[in-house]
Amino acid sequence: QVQLVDSGGGLVQAGGSLRLSCAVSGGTFSTYAMAWFRQAPGKAREFVARTTWTAVTAYADFVKGRFTISVDNALNTAYLEMNSLKPEDTATYYCAAATTNTISRIPASYSYWGQGTQVTVSS
């Protein structure tokens, strides 16, 4: 059974940085497509970034140049490096995994989810 555990969230001032981690257990991590989504209160879950197992990455326009998604296959862990954070980045961030080499930005395309980690950016 595949399990994802998100961590690394917290409270940071605008302009600061955080690195989120997603530890994956079960299955073959190196064959997963990984993604990060976020959800603010009262809003729908939205795509942030994704990488295929062939390391093809994509980002939402609102994080381009500020966020970087990466994976460490030796540690079975995905990361989201977040720089130049803004108050509007405040949300619960979720990592997700798909067992197909998907390029999808739709939550329904991902079968496995972490529990979420809260990111709060103060102005």
pLDDT in tens, 38-85: 999 999 999 999 998 888 899 999 998 999 999 999 999 999 999 999
Kind of pairing between the strands at 112-113 and 91-98? antiparallel
Which strands, in side-by-side order, build the sheet including 67-72? 3-7, 18-25, 77-82, 67-72
Please tell me the total number of residues recorded for the chain in this structure: 123
* pLDDT single digits (tens) 8-36: 999 999 999 999 999 999 888 888 999 99
pLDDT tens track for 89-116:
999 999 999 988 888 999 999 999 999 9
